[in-house]
Amino acid sequence: MLSKDLNMTDKDFKKNLKLNNGSFSSTINHRNDKFIETYNNIYNDKVNYFKSTNGLKTTKNNNNKNINIINKMTNYNNNINRNPNNNKKNKIQMTGLKKYLTYFQSNTSLVDKKYHNKKQSISVFGKLNQNLLKDSTIIEKPKVNKKVMKINSCTLAGYTAPGIQKINQDNFFIKKDFLNVTEQFFIGICDGHGMQGHLISEYVSKNLPNHLNDTTDESIKNAYLSIQNSLQNESNKIDSSLSGTTCTSIIVSLNSVICANVGDSRAILAKYENGAYNVTNLSRDHKPTETDEMKRILSCGGRIKQFYDKKTKEYIGPERIWLKNSEIPGLAMSRSIGDSIAHSVGVIPEPEIMRFDFTGNEKFIIIASDGIWEYIDSDECIKIIKEYYENNMDAVGGLNDLVKEAFKRWKIEEDNIDDITAIVLFFE
């Protein structure tokens, strides 16, 4: 049975391999389609293990055997790259390559339990990750295309007091066929704060797309840092010492989404799995109470505490960031663009980047400022929008309902109402 082939012992595995001058032949060739199907299922289940452990770790005694197998796998991969047009030979090479990989995947837990030793371990599989998983398209996880059917946005200015509407400091951008790639979208929300917040969020939303040259992590990171630098060069026009903006952006292609986030705006993905809608967080809110964020801020000489109301003699509101010996800036987020004073005590403009490949269960994405998230959590947001997704993909109706609900809750909870902005993408 095929399942036995995939889980055979090391001895049986070697016995069943027939290696002849770097070529591979096996009885599995005549049922290659079924093998690939089973291989893909195992790959999907196991790939996260390799990423989280940085590869299979074994002791020195087991190292030579594994390196030998990896070298053979690498040779297969190189042969295929050297002979891209030799379909018959490539089919044989691919089968050998996949079977070796499957051997590692199906025996990972057994080998790890038997040989794992933190002090003596060698990351044998790290070489495989670099040579094959990262660069080779031969053994990549199958990609699923999800076409964007609708994109709609809605923004509403807040109120500084009942009946007194303020300047809307939220800005957003939507770029279709971004970087000249068909059906690739670059979408972002910038939520400004401080006296110049509306100018900074407008500046970032207009200029960030022009700073991005490709979709690599390095390019995305550099685009955000470049915007920070260019904003400082505009200091004679825009004072960003005590003003700034969040920036949550997503790059949506046919088979994946990349999220880059600075601040506490948020992006979420709705999937329909096992008869229910589930939330996948595409971003993380950058709050000073997050362990890694707090560590950075404190190490840079910042303080983290709530605002102290001298009249009531009470600490109120969220945890904020302050200079060591001064009651400024009082920023409630640990990353931002602008905010040069806060940046002196560990607040950074560097985005946190997350990547997600589509699996086929994706239904819609919501990206919004904290005017939504302050009183509506991610799960409830999905529940509101899904009704409209299922009703002829009524994105406009869904956004209107979501923004109205957020506005209503702000009125109940506070005198001031924050700006509220949301964008929805519906997939086919």
Is this prediction's pTM over 0.75?
no
Domain assignment present for 256: yes
- 236-248 pLDDT, tens digit each: 899 999 999 999 9
Q: Tell whether the model's pLDDT for residue 391 goes beyond 60.
A: yes
Residue 39 has pLDDT above 90, yes or no: no
- All residues at 6 or more sequence positions from 271 whose CB lies less than 8 Å from its CB, including other chains: 277, 278, 280, 359, 361, 362, 363
- What pLDDT band is residue 177 in, cutting at 50, 70 and 90? very high
| Per-residue pLDDT reduced to its tens digit, 10-27 | 444 344 433 333 333 333
Residue 414 lies in a domain: yes
**330 plus 395 within the same structural domain:** yes
CATH code (residue 416): 3.60.40.10
Is 140 among the domain residues?
Answer: no
If pLDDT is split at 50, 70 and 90, which confidence band does 64 have? low
Residues 238 and 352 in one domain: yes
Pair (157, 66) in one structural domain: no
Angle at 311 between CA 306 and CA 317, to 5 degrees: 25
The answer on pLDDT for 78 being more than 70 is no
Measure the CA–CA gap between 391 and 394, rounded to whole angstroms.
Answer: 6
Please say whether the beta carbons of 294 and 304 come within 8 A.
yes
Same domain, 118 and 155: no
Instruction: With a cut of 90, say whether residue 381 has pLDDT above it.
Output: yes
Instruction: Please check whether residues 155 and 242 belong to one and the same domain.
Output: yes
**Number of domains present in the structure of the chain:** 2
pLDDT tens, position by position, 283-298? 999 999 999 999 999 9
How large is the average pLDDT for residues 321-339? 97
* Inter-axis angle of helices 395-413 and 378-389, nearest 10: 150
Q: What is the model's pLDDT at position 23? A: 32
Among residues 111, 134, 157, which one ends one of the domains?
A: 134
* 325 and 421 housed in the same domain: yes
Q: What percent of the chain has pLDDT over 70?
A: 67
Is residue 143 domain-resident? no
Tell which residue, 406, 320, 409, has the closest CA to residue 371: 406
295 vs 284: CA distance, rounded Å? 17
Statement to judge: residues 300 and 410 lie in one domain = yes
The overall average pLDDT reported for the chain is: 79
The domain in which residue 7 lies consists of: 2-134
